[in-house]
Amino acid sequence: MNTDPYSPSSTTEERAVPVASRNLSEMYSWGATGCLVICALILMFGDIGFDKPGRFGLDFDHAILLIAISLLALLSGLIAVYIARSLLSGLALLASAFLVILGIMAS
């Protein structure tokens, strides 16, 4: 049996992503989901002022930063979901991205 996972004669199972890597990727995708939910809650319920800071000190620049963080978390979470091949964490990630979109529309 060939032990080199990169040789052309190895089977697909031998070249598959290790289980520990998939578990780590799934945990990372749940972390990205949590980051998206936090950004969505801040965008929805944080008092973001446009001409002057709101009562929590958030202004338009902070909203742009939150949207950029949300996009980075979504992209990295989608990559982690692809590596982990986890449907549940992928659906949770997309649902939290929908919350961010609602937060952008609400602010």
Note whether residue 11 is domain-resident.
no
Which residue range(s) make up the domain with 54? 19-106
Q: Which pLDDT score, from 0 to 100, does residue 6 have?
A: 56
Query: Is 73 a member of any domain?
Result: yes
The total of structural domains in the chain comes to 1
DSSP 24-87: HHHHHHHHHHHHHHHHHHHHHHS-B-SSS--TTSB-HHHHHHHHHHHHHHHHHHHHHHHHHT-H
Mean pLDDT by 10 residues, the chain (107 residues): 55 58 77 86 83 84 89 86 80 85 79
Examine residue 70 and state whether it is found in any structural domain, yes or no.
Answer: yes
Residue 5 belongs to some domain of the structure = no
The answer to whether residue 12 sits within a structural domain is: no
- 7: in domain: no
The span from the CA of 2 to the CA of 104, in Å, is 53
**pLDDT on residue 21:** 67
Residues 58 and 41 sit within 8 Å (Cβ to Cβ)? no
Those residues whose C-beta lies under 8 Å from the C-beta of residue 19, and which sit 6 or more positions away, are none
